[in-house]
Amino acid sequence: MSTIEQAYDTTRTEPGESGVVDPVLPRVTPELLAAYLATEVVDDDGVVWSGVRAVERLEACWVITAENPFSEPRRPEENAAANDHLAASIRAAGFATTPLVGRAADGSWSEACYAVRGASSGQVLAWGRAHGQHAVFRLSDDVHEVVSCWHAGTLASRARVLGRWGSSLIDTSPIRDIMSCQSEPTTDQSARMRALRFSISICALPWCTSTGGT
């Protein structure tokens, strides 16, 4: 068990009706989830794997990083060391790594990450938990999914290949469950979720999803 997982092991909520006591996880806010969903994924040659004008065909893969646990900024040398450790763990399990960069479309942030093919979801999510990641990406020909490392469910998804202005959010229903330990969202949370859905789905308009032209 990693240091991060041990920390979770000592910070728990009261048991529910099932008697199961779950770790208290940092919240994935609507703003943070929107950032994950909008992330562009690019390789060292500048080829876009997910995002605006991404390659049309892509062999399914996972995308994972060890940088900035729970999206809290960390020193570059710490991020580099954590990613080296992650890559070593992946290779020790018999899988190759392809260096990638996940970044905001406006260039406001970026993180080094790796593509992994052939590993099970359980293995990938365990690596994510060991490095304090909220989620990993699962890329296929059609879809870019944001998958929780802690709940093993898809938090949200979009088309992998986007036009100039993006595309629609495919699944937002799990957002409520990951935002908070509450069974129902507060009025404020509901409003923010509606805003998230609108801000992304507005880009589904026909003139926003064409991949042709400039």
For the stretch 67-105, pLDDT in tens is: 999 999 999 999 999 999 999 999 999 999 999 999 998
Looking at per-residue pLDDT, the higher value among 95 and 176 belongs to 95
Tens digit of pLDDT for each residue in 12-25?
Answer: 333 333 334 445 67
pLDDT by residue (tens digit) across 144-174?
999 999 987 899 999 999 875 554 444 444 4
Give Cα 154 distance to the centre of its chain.
9
> Is residue 137 over pLDDT 50?
yes
pLDDT(180) > 60: no
User: Distance of alpha carbon 80 from its chain centroid, rounded?
Assistant: 19
Long-range contacts of 85-92 (CB under 8 A, 24+ apart): 85/131, 86/114, 86/127, 86/131, 87/114, 89/127, 89/130, 90/114, 90/116, 90/119, 90/127
As a whole number, mean pLDDT of residues 187-211 equals 44
| Residue 7 token pair | 């920390």
> How do the domains of the chain map onto residue ranges?
30-208
- In the prediction, which pLDDT does 152 show? 74
Task: Supply the pLDDT for residue 26.
Answer: 77
Average pLDDT, the chain: 76
pLDDT at residue 200 greater than cutoff 50? no
pLDDT of residue 206: 32
Asked whether the whole model's pTM tops 0.95, one would answer no
Find the mean pLDDT for residues 186-205. 47
pLDDT at 190: 54
Contact predicate 35/48, CB 8 Å: no
d(CA 51, CA 165): 10
More confident residue, 149 or 211: 149
Structure tokens given for 202: 């507005």
* pLDDT above 70 (res 33): yes
Name the token pair of 178. 């990951």
Sorted by sequence, the CB contacts under 8 Å of residue 199 that are 6+ apart come out as: 34
Q: Are 35 and 22 in contact (CB under 8 A)?
A: no
